[in-house]
Amino acid sequence: MPNWNPQQLKAIQTKDKNIMVSASAGSGKTTVLIARLMDLVVKDRVPIDAILAMTFTEAAASEMKKRLAASLQKAYEETKDPEERAYITRQLTSIQTAHISTIHSFCLSILQEYYYMIGLDATRITNIMDNGTMVLYQGEALEEAFQNQYAKQDKVFIDLCAMFSSRSENDEALRKLITSLAVMASSQANSDDWLNALLIPYDNIKHIQDLPIAIQENFFSYLAVECSRYEEGILRIQELYRYRYDSEVKKAALVEQKVQALPSLQETLAKRDYEGFRLAFQSIAHGILPPSPDKEDKEYVHLRKQSQELEDRLLGLLFSEQQFIKDMQALKPYVRKLIEMVKDYRRSYARIKQEQAVIDFDDMEHYALEILQCKDGQVAQRYREQFTEIMVDEFQDSNDVQNTLVQSICRENNVFRVGDIKQSIYGFRHAKPSLMRGIIEQQGIYDEVIYLSNNYRSKKMIVDFNNLLFKQLMNLDGFSCRYADADDVETGVAEQLQDNVPICFHAIFHDEIKKANALILAKNDLKASYIANQILEIREKEQRQWKDFVVLVRGNARKENMKKVFDELHIPYFIDVKSGFYQSSAVSLMLSALRAIEDPHNDIALIAILLSPLFPCSAEQIAQSKLAKRQEAQKASQQAAHKVYESSFYAYLKEHPIPGFQAFEELRKECFGCSLTKTLNRLYEQNNYYALHTSVQEKTNLDLLFEKGATFEQQQAMGIHAFLNQIEQIKDAQTAEAIPIGSEADVVRVMSIHQSKGLQFPVVFLWSNDAMTAIEFKDLCICDSELGIALKRMELPERYVRTTIPRIAMEHKKDKEELEEEMRILYVATTRAQQQMHIVDCVLDLEQYNKPLTTSSIYDRGGYTSWLLQTFLQHPNDLFTIKEVHTLWQSLPLQEPIKPQYHIQPYHQEVETLQFATASAKKATDIAITLQKPKGMQYGTMMHKMIEALGNSTYEDTAIRQCAARLHITLSEQDVKRLHDLYENEVFQRCLKTTCYYELPFMVKDGEEVLHGFMDFVAIQENGITIIDFKTDAIFSADELITRYREQLLLYQKAMNTLYPNSKIACYIYSLHLSEMIQVS
């Protein structure tokens, strides 16, 4: 049995209560969760199917099942009691079907079992939309909602559009707002009630005191924070006159006047006397703040500038109470219209999902909640009776819907929650750490809070460092974050006391290094180079593995800096770039290739692929051709005496080909009429691109692209053009790159702090920053789950804009919440390290940070670097050391590029036998043709699909038209005749009586050469093999067809000869345009 500490033991054994476990980073909360599960199952004999355990990721649920199974297996081996063994065996067999899952999976199980309770279509439950499909349907719903409003020509809507954009045709900002409000509504347990409540702050308001309490509190909190910052600056200037400029009597007297008036600001705010505060501040602000007696005194100059900016900012928004109320009353109809539009959009989106028989993740939660609450909670009561224990992991990241769902099925004393408010970093997902805070602060008779106050992850110095830092940072006035005494953790095992090294802040003096070395190098590149150099140095000195190191960055942009320098130094790495799938290099190239195949006159796409590893073109050749093309166009214009517009680059290259262009032409010809997946197949093979020119990450991305293409074909039954259109609509959506490596791969990892949550690494490098970008509240309207909608007042047509009280309150709340979340993000970052913690940033000088860490300095947004240095320069100790870097370092690349060995399933495999696939075995790739006169690629694809679909059936007119109808293809009389003529052809008739294959894929080896492709039609006969290639070219000469396609048919013949050396092989082109079978010899 593990050596549990008292708090862990209490968390494991306490029953018949609602337990809230506050588990700091590294406190072993997952181990405790498993131990509690084991205690319930083995000791208390609670069957696994009577326990509901919910996590926030599939990986966490899988890990929990795995560890529980291992613990049960161990218990089985340790007991000899047959009855006990039988019981444990039953539990082991129940693990895979146990309710140990994500909250979405549990919601889905509710839907699967009780969908009929709310009249939900059962087929929808199995069709969960991916992100791309969701974006498409949301776009359709939004368009419908807006078209409905435009049709009404409602004056409020027209004015609303005018408020959001001075250009009548641009309604993007308004669309974005409607979408944001809908998303926020979906995170509420009762979306409609939340939407209706948005009107409350604008309805029948006569005084500030009539506003909702939350708005009042945040409004006066903003004024209090600004006053504190103002007061702090003025008092510091007063100190400077006392100790630095004591001879400047007149200037000191002006400052003293302001100091004497400061108490009146705090007094009026304490009484929430807005008008009194407004008048008092206007009086103070109109007083003179003298310039510095010494113009070189940077501190004074900064303080004066900061104070004057604050005065201007407050004076610009302190309108009279009467004006505020008047503006809010004027905004009421616009808020009502916004609510109406959000409801219209939600109804349209719900209808589209119902028509398409799909659901999204929000539907899972809301439908599950609806089922639990319908018919007097019958289903909820069944779950209440079924589950002896409900466990919720990562509770700090729950939202209102998820919490309401748990409350719907729990008993009064059977919920076990685990979380850590200090690690709540998912505000953008509408997580509400206030839910956990509320449970801790307001305990009922069945509630108990247990703190896990031992850290088992990090060395003692790292533990003590975090205690000291976050006691200072999280306990500042004006913030809801708290690092309580119970959060002050200690080490848990003796090994943590050994081999300790202090946390090291690497201060790179960027300007000095640049000047001394004449560098033209950006700060971020310098930081990346330094981090890579340090990794190499520590690895060599301490004989570490690459996987011991992680570089944590705040956002994805910095990953590119690290990637570049790691490539230069041959350091093996893994970098997971979120929201970068469609922008990743390999996928972007394939999309350009598809565009160029679809439309070769797309110059950007064509040049992109000609310059890629797909084709042997050089940048110099492209540049020379572009220049020659331009000169040719200019010459033509001069000769014509008017401007002659340039043709496309493709048209020019047709006349003046360069190396590689012919290969592109052949590729286009080969892909002509092919399905999306066949085309992608061919592109991956071009010049061995997939095998030889892509990294592990890129191969995985290409696999995912192919999967998306296959899914698109299966669901949409449309071609390349439609696929590219869909990509254009969804490419900016948050789509992550595919993950190509396992957790044990020996590489340096670069990840965002969010991605690192729950992980630990021996050596951590934190990419710090000395500035934090403030939220830009440029939008006319912003929204918040608690405060609702906050509009600025705009007077039309002049477009005069004034802020409002809800707006001031909401901006302050969002600003404060973002700063609090940044504190928690820093906590996550500095608690990942097991042995060493390195923090790296560029600085100008260190003395600027030698000042107390205050609420005011937090709102100055100095970044992690300021927070860290202000804390530890004011409280020097042996936990934290600063390494000053004044000279340039030298990083030598490793002698041999180190390529970690991954087992990656190859995309293609060379085969030495023909792989047959019948038409029925192929995935459907039907395309919908609605043009009256199909042309080019569309026509060819259409006719090929018809021939394949008709197969060996009779090509009668009725049969042909019925087949076309099934495929959603419109045929002309001439098309029907052409298909009928094919059927009547003697060679084709003879082939149909044998074994036939349509769209036959092949890949064979001929010596060192690999032959691959697709054959339109192959007939295997006793006396030989017949290959037919169907052509739709509008060509009136059989000889021309032979000239154009002879090489292609000979390739097919060569491939078949390799496989069937003793068979006679006949090759034909069948021209649908000529209705003629043409033999190729």
Give the pLDDT confidence of 301-331 residue by residue, as tens digits. Answer: 999 999 999 999 999 999 999 999 999 999 9
Task: Kindly provide the residue ranges of all beta strands, DSSP E only, lying in 345-492, ordered along the sequence.
Answer: 389-392, 415-419, 447-452, 454-455, 490-491
pLDDT band at 436 (very low <50, low <70, confident <90, very high): very high
| 1006: number of Cβ within 10 Å | 12
State how far the alpha carbon of 966 is from the alpha carbons of 24, 528, 974, in Å: 61, 59, 19
Whole-number pLDDT of residue 936: 53
- Choose the CATH number for 503-576+743-788+804-885 among 1.10.1740.10, 3.40.50.300, 3.30.70.120, 3.90.226.10: 3.40.50.300
DSSP state letters, 31-61: HHHHHHHHIIIIIS---GGGEEEEESSHHHH
pLDDT band at 637 (very low <50, low <70, confident <90, very high): low
CATH number assigned to the domain covering 129-358: 1.10.274.50
Q: Which of residues 706 and 1035 earns the better pLDDT score?
A: 706
Nearest to 788 by CA among 189, 186, 195: 195
- Mean pLDDT computed over 419-444: 89
In this predicted model, what pLDDT tens digit does every residue of 8-35 receive, in sequence order? Answer: 999 999 999 999 999 999 999 989 999 9
Q: Which architecture characterizes domain 919-1080 according to CATH?
A: Alpha-Beta Complex (3.90)
With a cut of 90, say whether residue 334 has pLDDT above it. yes
- Mean pLDDT computed over 737-741: 53
Q: What is the CA radius of gyration of the chain?
A: 35
Portion of the chain with pLDDT greater than 90, in percent: 53
In this predicted model, what pLDDT tens digit does every residue of 673-721 receive, in sequence order? Answer: 788 888 898 898 888 888 778 876 678 788 888 888 877 776 655 678 7
pLDDT band at 796 (very low <50, low <70, confident <90, very high): confident
- Helix (H), strand (E) at residue 22: strand 18-23
With a cut of 50, say whether residue 642 has pLDDT above it. no
Interior/surface letters 636-645, b for 16+ CB within 10 angstroms, e for the rest: eeeeeeeeee
52-56, 105-109, 682-686, 934-938: which has the minimum mean pLDDT?
Answer: 934-938
303-317, 563-577, 591-605, 958-972: which has the minimum mean pLDDT?
Answer: 958-972
- Does this model's pTM top 0.75? My answer is no
With a cut of 60, say whether residue 536 has pLDDT above it. yes
pLDDT band at 939 (very low <50, low <70, confident <90, very high): confident
- Mean pLDDT computed over 471-482: 91
- Mean pLDDT computed over 372-381: 94
145-149, 577-581, 782-786: which has the minimum mean pLDDT?
Answer: 577-581
pLDDT band at 346 (very low <50, low <70, confident <90, very high): very high
User: CA–CA separation, 319 vs 278, rounded Å?
Assistant: 8
- Mean pLDDT computed over 358-362: 91
Please report, for the chain, the start and end positions of each structural domain, with discontinuous segments joined by +.
6-127+361-452, 129-358, 503-576+743-788+804-885, 585-730, 919-1080
Whole-number pLDDT of residue 907: 29
Contact 997, 1017 (CB under 8 A): yes
pLDDT band at 169 (very low <50, low <70, confident <90, very high): confident
With a cut of 60, say whether residue 275 has pLDDT above it. yes
CATH number assigned to the domain covering 585-730: 1.10.486.10
Whole-number pLDDT of residue 919: 29
Whole-number pLDDT of residue 971: 78
State how far the alpha carbon of 159 is from the alpha carbons of 155, 333, 493, 548, in Å: 6, 11, 66, 59
- Mean pLDDT computed over 744-753: 89
3-state secondary structure of 580: coil
DSSP count for the chain of H helices, then E strands: 41, 24
With a cut of 90, say whether residue 520 has pLDDT above it. no
Q: Which of residues 521 and 787 earns the better pLDDT score?
A: 787
Is 6-127+361-452 in CATH node 3.40.50.300? yes
In this predicted model, what pLDDT tens digit does every residue of 113-144 receive, in sequence order? Answer: 999 999 999 999 988 887 778 888 999 999 99
User: CA–CA separation, 775 vs 777, rounded Å?
Assistant: 6
With a cut of 90, say whether residue 653 has pLDDT above it. no
Domains 6-127+361-452 and 919-1080 alike in fold: no
Contact 839, 531 (CB under 8 A): no
Portion of the chain with pLDDT greater than 70, in percent: 90
391-405, 480-494, 785-799, 905-919: which has the minimum mean pLDDT?
Answer: 905-919
Whole-number pLDDT of residue 911: 31
**Structure-token pair, residue 152:** 């009404």
With a cut of 70, say whether residue 1066 has pLDDT above it. yes
- For the chain, what is the mean pLDDT? 86
Nearest to 321 by CA among 272, 263, 262, 270: 272
Whole-number pLDDT of residue 338: 97
In this predicted model, what pLDDT tens digit does every residue of 859-918 receive, in sequence order? Answer: 989 899 999 999 999 989 999 999 999 988 866 566 544 444 332 232 233 333 333 332
**Structure-token pair, residue 775:** 């939220």
In this predicted model, what pLDDT tens digit does every residue of 82-109 receive, in sequence order? Answer: 999 999 999 999 998 899 999 989 999 9
Q: What own/partner pairs with CB < 8 Å and gap ≥ 24 does 896-901 have?
A: 896/570, 897/570, 898/546, 898/570, 898/571, 898/572, 899/572, 900/546, 900/572, 900/741, 900/745, 900/746, 900/747
**Structure-token pair, residue 685:** 């093979």
3-state secondary structure of 411: coil
Whole-number pLDDT of residue 48: 95
Nearest to 842 by CA among 769, 772, 753: 769
With a cut of 90, say whether residue 347 has pLDDT above it. yes
- Mean pLDDT computed over 522-544: 93
3-state secondary structure of 1017: strand
Whole-number pLDDT of residue 1001: 72
**Structure-token pair, residue 364:** 């899972």
With a cut of 90, say whether residue 937 has pLDDT above it. no
3-state secondary structure of 522: coil
